[in-house]
Amino acid sequence: MSDQQIKDEIFNVVWSACDTFRGVIDPSGYKDYILTMLFVKYLSDVRKSKVAEYTEKYKDDQTRIDRAMARERFTVPEDCTFEHLYAHRDDSDIGQVINTVLEKIEDANKAKLHNVFRNIDFNSESNLGKTRQRNQRLKTVLEDFANKNLDLRPERVGHMDIVGDVYEYLIGRFAAQAGKKAGEFYTPAEVSETLARLVAPQDGDRICDPSCGSGSLLIKASKQVGTKDFSLFGQEMNGSTWALCKMNMFLHEVDAARIEWEDTIRHPQLVENDALMKFDVVIANPPFSLDKWGQEMAAGDQYDRFHAGIPPKSKGDWAFISHMIATALESKGRVGVVVPHGVLFRGGQEGKIRQHMIEQNYLAGVVGLPSNLFYGAGIPAALVIFDKSRPAGAKEDVFFIDASREFEQGTNQNRLRPQDMDKIVETFRTRTVIDKYSHLASFEEIEENDFNLNIPRYVDTFEPEPEIDMEEVQKDIVRINKDLAKVEAKVDSYLEELGFKS
């Protein structure tokens, strides 16, 4: 069986389990239950495989088996496996049984899983219904996950990133169902990959996402490194999304990732020695134009992140960008951020901050994306790249790409095709000027535009109307009039034959 066939089998099993919750709670909520159960199944299947391996290796010597299992990535007690839950699927308090198992798994793996399950309640009447309904739903989910096709043992899927793929598949499907709420936890894979390739993480890099959501952008960035020599950091304000991100890191075997749970602007947690941690790569898809982002504390910010200016209270885009630039390493840090187009041209305080960033020579490029790429948001977005290795104040060129017209149109969302992503990345890296696609703008040109970065000011995509040959048009009119006269004469003759006067 091919890798893709195995994936498809697993995708179908897990997605069918979602039917249990449809119409009961919002998709943005039931993803927590499905993905938590997926994580428990993953831990159980890995445990089962390892127990079998060590049993054969140590000839049923239980002491040596237990010692070997204690050195594994996760400790899963015997009464905390998926098989244990499945055996109790008919219990009258199955919701509480699942909650207890999650608590025990947390306690057995405190260094890694502390608080990861605290936001999920399988015994919630408000979410899952009254006892009888809740018990039936949970029994159905357990039976769905017991399907033989949902086999996550390493010997079956070992060389594939199958669990990570399942996770991202589900996140994407949930995002499609969840509409606007999807933006809180998911960035489309093609956008994540394009941004990750543009900032080009290298061996040894520290990579950070200060609004990491479910962690897809961090994972995409880590895969660009090509080795295991990297470290991941993130911060997320939403508790359930933070838990999903933690699980996502473990599912992708990035166990050392440091993911903090707090408001990045008001309470940054990635600090050391009372200063912001610095990173080689900082990437993010912050919430677009966030209202009430924390302007009230910006003037007194102890980390001086807003020295270029304080963004307006109702639009936090430049607050996140300012934080990201402040946490990028001096003389080498790269920053990549997804923004709404208003960030490029809005005036007032935002215009002053934008001007400062350009005058400091941080801005390396702007990439306009097609509209309707994001779930529940039809507006087009842009990728903005900053590079602190550019000489401070040198007033170098800025590279613009308008990739808004090259995409695959979908029923609900559009998507970037592989060739679209490749063209963006290659054009950006080589800074190749392509008619109606890209432009290398000088500092003076941007200054003349009052530091407005609206892409049409720099990439001319105007398609001229074809020239009209008036002489030929006149000939066509004469010919048409002659044909019309013939038709009218024939109609008159028919009317006379019928006794009517024309």
Residue 177 has what pLDDT? 62
- Phi, psi at residue 222, to the nearest 5°? -65, -35
Residue 234 gets which letter from DSSP? E
User: What does the longest C-alpha to C-alpha distance in the chain come to?
Assistant: 114
448's tokens: 């003349």
> Quick one: pLDDT at residue 450?
97
Give the strand pairing for 271-272 and 258-261: unpaired
pLDDT at 105: 97
Rounded CA-CA distance 348/289 in Å is: 15
In the prediction, which pLDDT does 166 show? 75
Q: What are phi and psi of 374, to 5 degrees?
A: -100, 140
Per-residue pLDDT of the chain (502 residues; tens, 9 = 90+): 787 888 888 888 888 888 888 777 776 677 788 889 989 999 999 999 999 999 999 998 999 999 999 999 999 999 999 999 999 999 999 999 999 999 999 999 999 999 999 889 999 998 899 999 999 999 999 999 999 888 888 888 766 666 667 777 777 776 666 554 444 556 888 999 999 999 999 999 999 999 998 898 999 999 999 999 999 999 999 998 899 899 989 888 899 999 999 999 999 999 999 999 999 999 999 999 999 999 999 999 999 999 999 999 999 999 999 999 999 999 999 999 999 999 999 999 999 999 999 999 999 999 999 998 887 667 889 999 999 999 998 999 999 999 999 999 987 789 999 999 999 999 999 999 999 999 999 999 999 999 999 999 999 876 666 777 788 888 889 899 888 888 888 888 888 888 776 5
Whole-number pLDDT of residue 202: 97
**Same fold yes or no, 3-160 and 181-457:** no
Phi/psi for 236 (5° steps) reads -140, 135
Taking CA atoms, 223 is separated from 69, 192, 210, 467, 482, in Å, by: 29, 11, 18, 50, 70
Helix (H) or strand (E) holding 157: helix 154-157
With contact defined as beta carbons under 8 Å apart, do 294 and 316 qualify? yes
CB 425 within 8 A of CB 435: no
Rounded Cα gap, residues 205 and 436, in angstroms: 35
What pLDDT is recorded for position 183?
Answer: 46
**Pairwise CA distance, residues 143 & 31, whole Å:** 17
Strand, helix or coil for residue 145: helix
Superfamily classification of domain 3-160: N6 adenine-specific DNA methyltransferase, N-terminal domain (1.20.1260.30)
Report the SS3 class of residue 408: strand
Closest-CA residue to 222 (of 234, 205, 210, 245): 205
Instruction: Determine the pLDDT at residue 176.
Output: 63
CA distances from 132 to 27, 34, 93, 135 (A): 22, 20, 10, 5
- Report the CATH fold assignment for 181-457: Rossmann fold (3.40.50)
In 216-362 the beta strands, taken as DSSP E runs, fall at 231-236, 258-261, 271-272, 275-276, 281-284, 334-340
Which tokens belong to 283? 């990437």
Q: Record the pTM.
A: 0.86
The 3-state DSSP class for residue 112 equals helix
CA distance 112 to 73: 9
For 112, left (φ over 0), alpha (ψ -120 to 50), or beta?
Answer: alpha
Domain residue spans in the chain? 3-160, 181-457, 469-502
Query: What angle in degrees, to the nearest 10, is found between the helix axes of 3-17 and 27-57?
Result: 130
SS3 label, residue 144: helix
Specify the pairing of strand 206-209 against strand 281-284: parallel
